[in-house]
Amino acid sequence: MIINTDKGILFCMPNDKHKELCEGSVIGSEATKQLFDFNHAYSINDFENILPKLLKECKSIFLEISRLYVGKN
C-alpha cells in the first residue's frame, strides 16, 4: 500500500528476542528509520491504531490488488 503523503512511512516487525533466536534478528522501527531513511517507522502491532490517522491526512491511496492477501476467516 502506498499512502500519498510527504512522509516516508514503514510498518515493521517489532523486536522479539525469543523469536530472533529461531528466525534471526529483526532491525526494529528505530533502526529502520536510520538505516533506510524513512521519516517514520512503526511496529506492525500499531498498524490498526496509526492507519486511520494517516488516512485522514491523505488525498489518494494506491493498492496493488494482484499482491493483496486476504486471509480466510
Looking at every residue in the chain, the average pLDDT score rounds to 76
Which uninterrupted H or E stretch holds 23? Answer: helix 17-23
* CA gap 9, 21 in Å, rounded: 28
pLDDT 10s digits, 26-48: 888 888 888 887 788 888 899 89
Instruction: Map grid coordinates 532491525 to a residue.
Output: 27
Q: Do the Cβ atoms of 63 and 1 come closer than 8 Å? A: yes
Would the pTM count as exceeding 0.75?
no
2 pLDDT higher than 50: no
